[in-house]
Amino acid sequence: MPNSGKPPKPPAPKPPTRNARVIRSTADFARYVGLARTTVSRVLNGHPGLKTQTVERVQKAIEETGFTPNAYALHLKGKRTATVGICMENLLTAPAVLKLAALQRRLRERSHASLIEVLPPGGSREVIRHFLSMRVDAVVFIGHFIEEEVSQRVHELGTHDTPHLVIDQLGIPETDTVALDRVRGMRDVMAHLLDLGHTSFGLLAINGLTRSVRDRLSGIEAELQARGMKPADCTQSLDHLHVRDNDFKYGRALALSFVEEKHRPTAYVALNDEVAIGAMHGFQAAGLRIPHDVSVAGFNNQEICLMPTPMLTSVDQQVEQTVNTAVDLLLAQIGHPRKPHPLVHMISPELVARDSTGPAPKSVLGLKR
Amino acid sequence: MPNSGKPPKPPAPKPPTRNARVIRSTADFARYVGLARTTVSRVLNGHPGLKTQTVERVQKAIEETGFTPNAYALHLKGKRTATVGICMENLLTAPAVLKLAALQRRLRERSHASLIEVLPPGGSREVIRHFLSMRVDAVVFIGHFIEEEVSQRVHELGTHDTPHLVIDQLGIPETDTVALDRVRGMRDVMAHLLDLGHTSFGLLAINGLTRSVRDRLSGIEAELQARGMKPADCTQSLDHLHVRDNDFKYGRALALSFVEEKHRPTAYVALNDEVAIGAMHGFQAAGLRIPHDVSVAGFNNQEICLMPTPMLTSVDQQVEQTVNTAVDLLLAQIGHPRKPHPLVHMISPELVARDSTGPAPKSVLGLKR
DNA sequence: CTGAAAGCGCTTACAG
DNA sequence: CTGAAAGCGCTTACAG
């Protein structure tokens, strides 16, 4: 029936396998609805000036067949891919995964799809090439990467006029950056503990040369100096005694070492929540009460902060704000010429005080035998 | 210069913006290397019979320009997209994220890219349409979805001849499934505790109507019956006393309720590690020693199992094996006609015994005042 | 090796 | 509204 009345058509091309109910092209689909390809295309793209009846007919047919226009053909025609590539350092830490989930959600709200890839060690080149071949509109990096490597990738993206942005890691040239103000975060923790009367501080896993650790240390020192105290005199680190691992066990080991110290600090600030919780266990195992005898503060404000008894004081990363800022910056870049100077946007963290921190013990001087 | 000697060409089309060093098509690129488009294409696709010198020339130019062929044009030409869509229930639980990471890694090893989407509540339709428009070769679901919703999505995928597979959730018709044998897992936990001499068991958060919970209960009952014990006589649940939340706090609350019971069980099996750890805290807060007075076992064997003191006995999900099985099943389906009967592949969990479980207290009878 | 041509599934003027 | 045509960036025979 559909082949009748079409004399100009040659020997009839390939007979469409009618039993295959799967419709894969606007041509097939137009035939199915009984409209011209052009018309179907216009309905699909919401052009004005179409009869309501026609629009409904197409919509009904979409429902029936589940037809989706081929994205590859669509974007070939020059349409934006409306896709953002997301490079993750890994999916091993809760804060990173939270940011990923929030970022994808936010991008979707702004009508963008996302391509997520965990950068395999040394394999960032291929991931970026994959993103470029997929003609992503922009690329986001989340995490702390090898500086040299991510710098190169960022430069490559610049070469291809592809907007990009780094979340978390400061110090990468030629790119916009959104990062937590870790200096501020640590100052807030210290201010909180100082206000509680503490004067001696144990540092848990806050040693090392990465920017993120150095910033924490800067924050600690800045707040102490602001109060007229000398950091060297009132802080102590025992990280050299153990093999670093930044996890529970490491925190516990550090705490047990501190317990054996003559002049044991009364307040402890940790690199992250895991170390802090490990330390709490260590102190409690040694018979110390928290926060009666010692106060402990974490960093990141993960869900696990609610797990120990008492619950852990920590610093919230403000993930939503971070992600929203990142998306705003990124989408503003798409389709616009590169700005002369990349932007660095700092996010202010928020101290969440819980019961793992309390007033400094009155007997603190007595303890220093 | 490039416009000379071409008389048939009309008024000279758009002058290529030569300063834009960005090469976006094989045409541009071929011009850059000084070869025919056809030749470039053959090099790119690794065809045989090319001069080594030519291949090297192209490779050098790729290095210089960072040119990547447009994936959208490539796949339009009929090439497989070699892409698998991954639908995540959420990114909120560590085991799910682990599976995601392992799945993407495994797919990459098998030369497939992945499209990851978290299904927004009620928005699974759009995600699947997105996947279909991207012409993915297959779709994987990870997590426990609303049965009705995922069943519909699976059916749609079938309609479009798109292979699919569900990880974790049993009972979805018309699809291959890879899931942990939770019955087996719970039997193993019970066997372990029974071997340690326990005869009374507290169930923590193991109530509800989802398949995953019912399977756990079946496992518990099966093992007890296998030992000639009556489940109703030796298990106890206090879930009705609290508002369910499946987290630390819920576990703690349950434990504290058990502490007040006259005939307190000596061994506790939890829905997951979070509840188990919460319960440990509850028991310890009440002055009970683990495992001296009570034994506690978790489920999932997450990293947090290492956090409490003592560390938590748990059941490992065997993520690698799960993911490898899933990928094997999936890739075998691509390009092949649908099998008459969908496959359900059960993964055997592995009990990881740690120090939160120990011999039943000798004084157990004495406790029953 | 080169070059011209067809075609993948779309969109977008253009003339009816 | 329809239909024919051009073109997006590729690959793949086909003839040189």
Query: Distance between CA atoms of B170 and B155, rounded to whole angstroms?
Result: 16
User: Over the stretch A315-341, which tens digit does the pLDDT of each residue have?
Assistant: 999 999 999 999 999 999 987 877 888
Look at residues B147, B226, B136 and name the one whose alpha carbon lies nearest to residue B190.
Answer: B226
Distance from CA of A71 to the nearest CA of B (A): 5
Q: Which of residues 64-123 of A touch strand D (CB under 7 A)?
A: 73, 76-78
Protein CA A76 to sugar C1' D7 (Å): 10
Q: Say if residue B12's pLDDT is above 60.
A: no
Chain B residues with CB-CB distance to A92 below 8 A: 101
Query: Residue A71 CB closer than 7 angstroms to strand C?
Result: no
Confidence of residue B21 (pLDDT cuts 50, 70, 90): low
Q: Which of residues 130-189 of B touch strand C (CB under 7 A)?
A: none
Strands, sheet with B164-167, edge to edge from the N-terminal-most edge strand: B113-118, B83-88, B138-142, B164-167, B176-180, B344-347
3-state secondary structure of A112: coil
Distance from CA of A23 to the nearest CA of B (A): 8
pLDDT of residue B337: 77
Query: Distance between CA atoms of A216 and A185, rounded to whole angstroms?
Result: 8
* From B68, B133, B274, residue closest to A68, measured CB to CB: B133
Contact B306 A105 (CB under 8 A): no
Contact A156 B71 (CB under 8 A): no
Of 1.20.970.10, 1.20.1440.130, 3.40.50.300, 1.10.260.40, the CATH number of A26-75 is 1.10.260.40
- Domain edges within chain B: 26-76, 83-174+319-348, 182-313+353-367
Q: Say if residue A171's pLDDT is above 70.
A: yes
Biggest CA–CA distance in chain B, Å, is: 108
User: Over the stretch A107-120, which tens digit does the pLDDT of each residue have?
Assistant: 999 999 999 999 99
Q: Say if residue B327's pLDDT is above 80.
A: yes
Superfamily of domain A182-313+353-367, CATH level 4: Response regulator (3.40.50.2300)
Which amino acid makes up residue A293? D
| pTM for the full predicted model | 0.90
Protein CA B327 to sugar C1' C13 (Å): 46
Are the beta carbons of A179 and A244 closer than 8 angstroms? no
In CATH, the architecture of B26-76 is: Orthogonal Bundle (1.10)
Protein CA B18 to sugar C1' D7 (Å): 21
Joined together, the tokens standing for residue B183 give: 């019955």
For the purposes of burial, counting CB atoms within 10 Å of the CB of B296, is it exposed (0-12), middle (13-18) or buried (19 or more)? Answer: buried
CB pairs under 8 A between A and B: 123
Protein CA A43 to sugar C1' D4 (Å): 20
Chain A residues with CB-CB distance to B248 below 8 A: 306-307
Asked if the domains at B26-76 and B182-313+353-367 fall in one CATH topology, the answer is no
Query: Residue B77 CB closer than 7 angstroms to strand C?
Result: yes
Contact B135 A160 (CB under 8 A): no
User: Over the stretch B229-287, which tens digit does the pLDDT of each residue have?
Assistant: 999 999 999 999 999 887 899 999 999 999 999 999 999 999 999 999 999 999 999 99
Query: Distance between CA atoms of B313 and B332, rounded to whole angstroms?
Result: 37
The protein residue nearest C9 (Cα–C1') is A73
pLDDT of residue B92: 93
Distances (CA, A) of A128 to A117, A160, A170: 9, 11, 20
Query: Residue B73 CB closer than 7 angstroms to strand D?
Result: yes
List, in sequence order, every residue forming a beta bridge with B117; answer none if it has no partner: B87
Chain B residues with CB-CB distance to A252 below 8 A: 309
Q: Say if residue A78's pLDDT is above 90.
A: no
CATH 3.40.50.2300 at B83-174+319-348, yes or no: yes
Q: Say if residue B201's pLDDT is above 50.
A: yes
Q: What is the mean pLDDT of residues B112-125?
A: 94
